Copies of this chain bind each other. A is one copy, B any other.
Amino acid sequence: MRFHRRIFLACVLALAMSFAFSSRILAAEADPLPSWNSGPAKQAILKFVQKTTDKSSPEFAPPAERIATFDNDGTLWTEHPMYTQLAFALGRIKALAPQHPKWKTTQPFKAVLDNDLEALAAAGEKGLVELVMASHTGMSTAEFEATVTDWFAKARDPRFKRSYTELAYQPMLELLAYLRANGFKTYIVSGGGVEFMRPMTEAAYGIPPEQVVGSTIKTQYEVKDGKPMLMRLPEVDFIDDKTGKPVGINKFIGRRPIAAFGNSAGDREMLEWTGAGSGARLMMLVFHDDAKREYAYGPANGLPDTKFGAFPPSLMDEAKKKGWVVISMKDDWKRVFAFEP
């Protein structure tokens, strides 16, 4: 009797294991990209992952070479009505204004305090750099990190009334997770400031700080009252945009990506650099053609031009010529944000 009971238990165990195993197979067969509509963009992703991870494929890529780089603004999260980091800079200028009485009468600060967008635009790139330096430097890296973390916890975007990290694109979050589940190392390669992004990338995208490449300002090591700190200096160190993206990738990662994702003219060289390597490659561009669920801008395909993330017709031409896949936000994405009903 006791003997049979053991046999019975062994059978139950075997059944349970077989069930667990089947469940895993079923889970593995579930759609890894549920927020993507069926279409060429989704197919391109699935096919690329299949052929680079199947050992019997002639285009198999060893795990160490599975580097995928993602632009941030407009590729992983919303960049309109302005870059999130610019919203942060303007907010900081307003918060710091009481300590700088002269800002009330000096441009470009006056424009920010008066919410005068015309005067702000007139200040141009030089004015923008002044605003960034005034809001991003002169403190230690630890103080800046605390300020950024606090800002992200409180700030809400003007249209959706959501925290900025909630404006991450759900289909791109699924893509990041799908690539990582297939042995890819996912990196951000953004024109944004490294130290503005790092406090939120792990929580927002599952990307750790050491996999964030971006623009940097110079820092300086100082020991104050026996305590070492890194002070943020008002001097640009590196601009990780346009031709700077391949430079940044080479400097920080030291490997050429086999997949790269962007959405604007600032990503052109990153995609060219990625595509110039040998073996299977995947280059994709998010095209913002969905004014209803997000925003619509080009100026490619006749959409309005923009100062934030312009996608010019020449980029569309290059994409077509080189086989880069253009993702239509309107057609390829079942939903844009996780908070949609």
> Could you tell me which A residues sit within 8 Å of B by CB distance?
10, 64, 67, 141, 185, 194-195, 198, 202, 208-210, 212, 216, 219-221, 223, 227-228, 230, 237, 243-244, 246-247, 250-255, 269, 272-273, 276
Contacts and interface: CB of A to CB of B under 8 A. Distances in A.
Nearest to A255: B209
Contacts of A212: 254
Interface centre among A237, A250, A251, A272 (most CB of B within 10 A): A251
17 contacts: A10-B10, A64-B208, A141-B250, A185-B210, A198-B254, A209-B253, A212-B254, A219-B247, A219-B250, A220-B247, A221-B243, A221-B247, A228-B269, A228-B272, A228-B273, A228-B276, A252-B252
Contacts of A220: 243, 247
B141 A210 contact: no
Contacts of A209: 253-255
A241 to B, nearest CB: 11
Contacts of A243: 220-221
B223 A255 contact: no
Contacts of A216: 251
